[in-house]
Amino acid sequence: MRHILFITFLFFFILSSCTEKKRNYVIDKKDYKNKLEGFWLGQSIANWTGIVTEMDKIGIPINNKGEGFYTSEDWGKRDKPNIWSDSSNYQIIDFNLATSDSLWGSDDDTDIEYMYQELILENNRLKLRPNEISEGWLKHIREEEENFLWVSNQRAYDLMRKGILPPETSNPENNKYYEMIDAQLTTEIFGLYSPFYPDVGLSMAYLPIRTVARENAAWISEFYIIMHSIAPVETDHENIKDKIFWMSDQARKILPNTSYSAKMYDYVKTKYKSGLSWEATRDSLNYKFQINNDHGYNWSKIDETCNGCFAAGINFGASIISLFYGEGDFKETVKIATLCGWDSDNPASTWGGLLGFMYGKKEIEKMFDVRLSSRYNIHRTRTGFQSPIDDFESMAEKGILIIDKVVEQMYLGEVRKNKWVFKKTPTRFTRDYVDDLPDVDLSKLDE
């Protein structure tokens, strides 16, 4: 009941108008397309780099493995085989890139976002219905054992096969993994479908999030959506570092102050501002929450496997470490996320996608000395799509089509001269940054 009351209050708060002044905001679709391509490229780079260390270091030893953590000195090295597979395929910890003559493989950090994008277009509905989500999952996820699902995603899928629909698939009575990391991997893109207006992205993602998550896991997912939604805002910050901190502080408002996710965010920020190294902050975060279970954090271990390592909370804390200490630098952020521990490919993917969007595909390509692939093999992990091999340009164009619908149907805006004109009255949630948006003379668009 407390959760329901909180969500009711939150959406009342978000949707309440704070100003009667109506303004026009404009985004160039060509520029946004480059940013969406950067999102898919940056996310893929970070995903496959993070996989190199996935589950190597988990804070609490499992079967006498996992003790200790990586530090910055471990970049370019490897001290022992990967704990997750017992024999790592990767000889060193470094950027794991698909060059122009190869493919990016899909993974659980990118493939369900891809699936939701396809389902929105296929069903011609911005807010997917429970049966549409279930039918999409059952169509595109393989039934065999190697289906690239874990914890809450796997449990939700099993429930769907029994005819149970979202959001009951995340009901704690049905799904004991409801506070695992899963929704964080699959819903960030809804923020990019709703530039400037987080309330729209949150409403579109409400059911996809609650297909697999509740409580802190859901709030953390909403935190990420808000950051992605306000990333396109042009502000007067001097650099991307300052803008990242402003964005994260805006998103922090979605986390209830008494929640362990809020406590983790505030704790990491305090340690960062104190000048403590990222390694020392990570170590203290591990002790405080994983070992000492402060602030009611009881997700260190929930069965005989290391499922606690997949928890929404500790991976959120690790992601905030990489965000703050990475300071807006794409490579540094991905490096720290990769070395930080736990389910390392997931925080890396989140920030790789966000920073990839903010820099754009062209700038991300300049950061590496090789020609990077733009092709994406969705059928590595999923099935049933018309094109098993897609590419980032096509994926970005599909995103543009969705935003066309969002602008016209949910913003009461329009598409003019390859630009989006936003006419929706700003909401209370946007009041802290709406004054930074340029007011555009629409008569000049037709010149």
Check residue 417 and give its pLDDT. 84
| Residues across the chain | 447
What does the alpha-carbon distance between residue 409 and residue 414 come to, in Å, rounded to a whole number? 9
Check residue 173 and give its pLDDT. 98
What does the alpha-carbon distance between residue 244 and residue 258 come to, in Å, rounded to a whole number? 24
What does the alpha-carbon distance between residue 195 and residue 211 come to, in Å, rounded to a whole number? 24
Give me 332's structure tokens.
Answer: 């540094």
Check residue 423 and give its pLDDT. 75
Provide the residue ranges of all domains of the chain, joining segments of one domain with +.
2-446
Check residue 443 and give its pLDDT. 46
Check residue 63 and give its pLDDT. 52
Check residue 422 and give its pLDDT. 82
Task: Give the domain 2-446 fold.
Answer: ADP-ribosylglycohydrolase fold (1.10.4080)
* Amino acid present at 288: K
169-213 tens-digit pLDDT: 999 999 999 999 999 999 999 999 999 889 899 999 999 999 999
CA dihedral 240, 245, 251, 257 (to 10 degrees): 170
Sheet (strand 414-416) strand order:
25-28, 419-422, 414-416
What residues of the chain score a pLDDT lower than 70? 1-24, 61-67, 78-89, 424-447
The neighbouring-strand residues paired with 376 are 104, 390
268 contacts 318 by C-beta, under 8 angstroms: no
